[in-house]
Amino acid sequence: MMRAMSRLTVAFLALCVAGLCGTGLCAAAPAEPDAADAITADLTIELVSPAYTAGPQILLGDIARVHVLDDTLRVQLEQMEVGVAPIPGASRKVNLGQVQVRMRQQRIDPVEYTFRGPAEVSVTAAATRVAAHSIEQAAIQAVCADAGCVLDQLGVKVVRFDYPQGLTVPPGLVVLEASVVPPGADAALVRASVRVVVGGALARTVPVWMEIIAPPMVARGADILLVAAGPGVCVTVPAVALEDGRPGQRIRVKNTVSGVEVAGRVMDPGTVQVTLSAMGGVL
């Protein structure tokens, strides 16, 4: 009888141990999350300040990290416009309320999302700085080219430029295109127009006023050589200057042989050049 009881006791103890082990295993095993719960838990928009934008509109992706498992929804949120961008180099504020309004306009319920970070974000528009010196040099080079490349850059002085601190323009490749406003280098005070082109698009047009300070190269009454040039033809005749002339400036001269008066460009201290007309010349 004692042996029977011992066997029953051992069996009972074995069942208890197995039950305890089974309970421990069940408690240790993690519960598998429901797929819908996992997606809901990842609907998070984390605002970041300060932020920067490079386009005409501020996008949610510019000011926030979007934590969404659905790639299509994430891209839609990142590309969502939340406000107009400030001018290049300037800043503006975007708050959480604006973001949520834009979400509702896109038929996205902000209640389903968790928002983290600051309630207001400072957004600065990315910009490229164009130095004032670069703009002035483009204008001076245009004047020298207008003078037939005879005028040296040291002979031109900028007297008025409205952007001494330079210009702030949108980011991109900057190209400066300068042209001289007539009468150009023929006048003592010259105005050039400088087009600031960024990424192939015109960003600003800037006027630059300059004074030609180079001393006269030809004096009034001086004997000179008048060179008349045309396609395959070059004629040189004696002439007299009827007015003072700086390098590259157009002045009136008189052919001492024919008495004809013409306007030519001062090329050096003893030479003025004129272009022959198609009607047999001007000499």
CATH of residue 107: 2.60.480.10
80 and 49 within one domain? yes
pTM of the model: 0.64
187 and 134 within one domain? yes
The residue from 77, 101, 126 where one domain ends is 126
Owning domain of residue 43: 39-126
Q: What is the reported pLDDT for 142?
A: 95
Domain with residue 246: its CATH number is 2.30.30.760
Residue 174 counted as domain residue: yes
CB-neighbour burial class of residue 266 (10 A; exposed 0-12, middle 13-18, buried 19+): buried
Overall number of domains in the chain? 4
> What are the per-10-residue average pLDDT scores of the chain (283 residues)?
45 46 44 46 88 92 94 94 93 96 95 95 93 96 88 92 90 94 83 95 94 91 89 88 91 90 89 68 52
**Closest Cα to residue 281, out of 224, 225, 231?**
231
- Asked if residue 247 lies in contact with residue 218, where contact means CB atoms within 8 angstroms, the answer is no
Sequence-ordered strand ranges (E) for the chain: 44-47, 51-53, 57-59, 64-67, 81-84, 91-95, 114-116, 120-125, 128-130, 156-161, 167-169, 174-181, 189-198, 201-212, 223-230, 233-241, 250-255, 261-268, 271-275
The residue from 212, 233, 262 where one domain ends is 212
The residue from 74, 102, 126 where one domain ends is 126
Residue 281 counted as domain residue: no
Tokens representing 2 are: 């004692």
Query: 193 to each of 14, 180, 208, 255, how far by Cα in Å?
Result: 100, 6, 6, 36
243 and 200 within one domain? no
Q: What is the reported pLDDT for 277?
A: 62
81 and 16 within one domain? no
Q: What is the reported pLDDT for 147?
A: 85
136 and 121 within one domain? no
Q: What is the reported pLDDT for 280?
A: 46
